[in-house]
Amino acid sequence: MASYNTSDFRKGLKVQIDGTPFSIIEMTFRKPGKGAALYECKLRNLLRNTIVDRTYRAGQTLEVADVTEFTAQYLYRQSDSFVFMNNDDYEQYELSEDQVGNFARFLKEGMDCQLMTFNDLPIAVTPPKHVVLQVEVAEPTAKGNTATNVQKPVKLETGAEIGAPPFINSGDWIRVDTRTGEYIERTTEPEEKS
């Protein structure tokens, strides 16, 4: 099994501990007195998304994790799972609702996401930062009530409900922040990609 030596440790490195994939998200090099160097690492568990602190001494090794990230488009939902396809080799991957997380409500067929696999099995998907979606239902706003700091609920084509300004109407296209689930701006219909 391939491994990394402490001198290879750096931010972003994907390693495995007891069969679980981790990503080094922070690394502090310390060398007390005349002693061996210490590598204090913060590692993100790529399966549970939790963070652990571990200290390694110079010369220790960690196994390489076969973690791959690539662009995949969302194809469709199949009962409890979500099906994505690698845009390069058309390989398909199924992710559970848990793996997709909160973002599921903004998923639209054909949307490009970043998929992460560990030993060829999908473990996580990262949505684009912003997505453009059509408003399916927006209640008309009473005339005169145009204060921009007031929001009203709108329902999007994917079924998600979010808050939007009063001037948004059914059929409008809006940009949404996938991380916060908040409305960003009104925009135009995105061009079909070839």
Partner 1 sequence: MSTDSRASAELLERVRGFFAARQFLEVSTPLIDAEMIPEAHIDPFEVPGLGYLRPSPEMHLKRLLCAGSGAIFEIGRCFRAGERGNLHQPEFTMVEWYRPGDDMRAGIELLDQLMQEVAGSPPAKKTSYAEAFEQTLGWNPHTWPLERLQQVAGESIADRDELLNVLLAKQVEPTLGSGPPEILYHYPASQSALATTTFHKTGIEVAERFELYWKGVELANGYHELTDAGELRRRLVTANHQRVAGGRPALPLPEKLLAAMDNPGLPSCAGVALGFDRLLMLSVGADSIGQVMEGNNARR
Chain positions contacting partner 1, by CB under 8 A: 7, 28-38, 55, 57-59
Which CA distances in Å does 139 have to 114, 131, 165? 34, 22, 11
Among 106, 31, 44, 51, smallest CA distance to 74 is for 106
**Residue with Cβ nearer partner 1 (32 or 144):** 32
**Residue with Cβ nearer partner 1 (6 or 99):** 6
Q: Least distance to partner 1 from the beta carbon of 28, Å? A: 6
Give all strands of the β-sheet with 61-64 in edge-to-edge order.
3-5, 61-64, 14-17, 20-30, 38-45, 51-57
Residue 188 CB neighbour total at 10 angstroms: 8
Question: Angle at the Cα of 123 (from 57 to 95), degrees rounded to 5?
Answer: 170
**Residue with Cβ nearer partner 1 (38 or 47):** 38
Q: Least distance to partner 1 from the beta carbon of 38, Å? A: 6
Q: Least distance to partner 1 from the beta carbon of 21, Å? A: 23
**Residue with Cβ nearer partner 1 (31 or 179):** 31
Q: Least distance to partner 1 from the beta carbon of 36, Å? A: 5
**Residue with Cβ nearer partner 1 (29 or 76):** 29
CA distance 177 to 181: 5
Residue 174 CB neighbour total at 10 angstroms: 21
Q: Least distance to partner 1 from the beta carbon of 2, Å? A: 17
Length of the chain: 194
